[in-house]
Amino acid sequence: MSRLNIRHSGIGMTSQRTRARMIERLRAQGIVDEVVLGAMSAVPRHIFVEEIFANRAYDDVALPINFGQTISSPFSVARMSELLRAGSSPGKVLEIGSGCGYQTAVLAQFAREVYSIERVGPLLTRTRTRLRELRLNNIRLKHADGVMGLSESAPFDAIILTAAAAHVPPLLLEQLAIGGRMVLPKGNKEQFLCVIEHNAQGYTETIVEKAKFVPMVPGIWKR
């Protein structure tokens, strides 16, 4: 069942059909988690992109969202969500890099609570409005440098980075609950999607596949 209020979002049958085609393409690309596919068929992706790109919102591409950033492609969002869930929905999730909030809204469909940190202030302002309009009330947004994590709300069952880190930020590892998992694109020129699991013995890292994300940038940006 969807947690969205899409009264406001102006979707008609056209975008519902387009979204259904996106889901079929994701299946063909190897996404199998029905919970993730259900979440992505519920969230109206076109309202997360600028109006001039709305007709390409469901294509399998990353699109510009201003401030030099991009909305992650549907495949990236699906793959990361699937890796994060690994068969069961996390309670408390921390996302680094809210961007336009699309991945955040997808996470909010199956996680109990989503905390999301974004370094670019004006981007976050728009995202806050958009998510409020969708009446997703299990999301908390924060304007901060994500490498610090969010110690006051830690530990997290899952942590997801939507920008590539050269190294795993140590504070994020500390804020990952035992039994929790982190999904991140790691590397500089060459990036790989990695999963880090935290168990009583320590941390284990699995490299999943090649990735292409914008790099993480330190500090915050106001205007």
Active-site amino acid positions: 72
- Please report how close the Cβ of residue 46 comes to ligand SAH at its closest, in angstroms: 13
3-state DSSP of 42-109: HCCHHHHCCHHHHHHCCCCCCEECCCCCEECCHHHHHHHHHHHHCCCCCCEEEEECCCCCHHHHHHHH
User: CB 154 → ligand SAH: shortest distance, Å?
Assistant: 16
Nearest distance, CB of residue 145 and ligand SAH, angstroms: 5
- Count of residues that bind ligand SAH according to CB under 6 A: 25
| Rounded Cα–Cα distance for residues 113 and 91 (Å) | 6
Q: Which helix (H) or strand (E) holds 116?
A: strand 113-118
List C-alpha distances in Å: 138 to 93, 109, 186, 209: 10, 9, 28, 31
Min. distance of Cβ 94 from ligand SAH in angstroms?
Answer: 11
> Which residue, 37 or 43, has its beta carbon nearer to ligand SAH?
43
Nearest to 81 by CA among 115, 63, 47, 105: 105
- Residues in 52-81 at the binding interface with ligand SAH, rule: CB under 6 A: 65, 69-72
CB closer to ligand SAH, 171 vs 177: 171
123 binds ligand SAH (CB under 6 A): yes
Nearer to ligand SAH, 96 or 168 (CB): 96
- Of the residues 44, 74, 97, 185, which one makes contact with ligand SAH according to CB under 6 A: 97
**Residues sharing a CB contact under 8 Å with residue 150, sequence separation 6 or more, in sequence order:** 94, 115, 117, 142, 144, 156, 175
C-alpha to C-alpha distance for 186 and 182, rounded to whole angstroms:
12
Q: For residues 128-147, which are near ligand SAH according to CB under 6 A?
A: 145-147
Among 141, 163, 184, 211, binds ligand SAH (CB under 6 A): 163
Contacting positions for ligand SAH (CB under 6 A): 65, 69-72, 96-97, 99-100, 102-103, 117-120, 123, 145-147, 162-163, 214, 216-218
